[in-house]
């Protein structure tokens, strides 16, 4: 695919629409798989108005409320990917809360560079470890491969749901 030149910088409010749009493009294949791999009652409860509406709202709220913890990879004025972190000093833990790379620019090192930048910020904040969560379904396989390639190890967690 070749490389792409980009810069990682703090998120700016004028990038909001680009970040939301690229997130929806990046996650479309994941949610298509989740619709068939997640129990129906769980999917319907999480996404009653559709996954796009929920993700648009969730990402928008995150950008508005936690802008200081968001970094973007840009080439010129174009956002190629983004990452959000959270710090949990009580556990000496930094969390990669969210990560997305625009599909036309995936497999070019953007996610890996964003992860490296986040790890540096987390380390500089005095945290001793970093965590990221993702799904175990087939649609999240590329994310798992990215994290494993960056040296992350899995802690198997079981999450159970029951309809009421």
Tell whether 163 is covered by a domain: no
The number of distinct structural domains making up the chain is 1
pLDDT for position 159: 81
Query: Which domain does 53 fall in, by range?
Result: 7-149
Tell whether 1 is covered by a domain: no
SS (H, E, C) the chain: CCCCCCEEEECCHHHHHHHHHHHHHHHHHHHHHHHHHCCHHHHHHHCCCCHHHHHHHHHHHHHHHCHHHEEEEEECCEEEEEEEEEEEHHHCEEEEEEEEECHHHCCCCHHHHHHHHHHHHHHHCCCCEEEECCCCCHHHHHHHHHHHHCCCCCCCCCCCCCCC
Residue 72: give its domain's CATH number: 3.40.630.30
Tell whether 17 is covered by a domain: yes
Tell whether 104 is covered by a domain: yes
Reported as a single tens digit per residue, the pLDDT across 112-143 is 999 999 999 999 999 999 999 988 888 888 88
Tell whether 158 is covered by a domain: no
Tell whether 2 is covered by a domain: no
> pLDDT band at residue 161, thresholds of 50, 70 and 90?
confident
């Amino acid at each position: 695919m070749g490389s792409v030149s980009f810069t990682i910088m703090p998120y700016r409010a004028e990038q909001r629409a680009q970040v939301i749009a690229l997130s929806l493009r990046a996650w479309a294949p994941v949610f298509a798989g989740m619709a068939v791999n997640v129990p129906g009652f769980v999917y319907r409860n999480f996404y009653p108005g559709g996954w796009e509406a929920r993700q648009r709202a969730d990402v928008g709220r995150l950008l508005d409320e936690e802008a200081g913890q968001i970094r973007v990879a840009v080439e010129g004025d174009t956002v190629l990917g983004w990452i959000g972190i959270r710090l949990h000093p009580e556990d000496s833990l930094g969390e990669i809360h969210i990560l997305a790379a625009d599909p036309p620019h995936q497999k070019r090192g953007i996610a890996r560079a964003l992860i490296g930048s986040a790890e540096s910020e987390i380390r500089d904040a005095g945290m001793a470890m970093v965590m990221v969560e993702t799904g175990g379904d087939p649609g999240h396989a590329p994310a798992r491969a990215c994290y494993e390639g960056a040296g992350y190890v899995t802690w198997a967690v079981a999450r159970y749901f029951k309809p009421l």
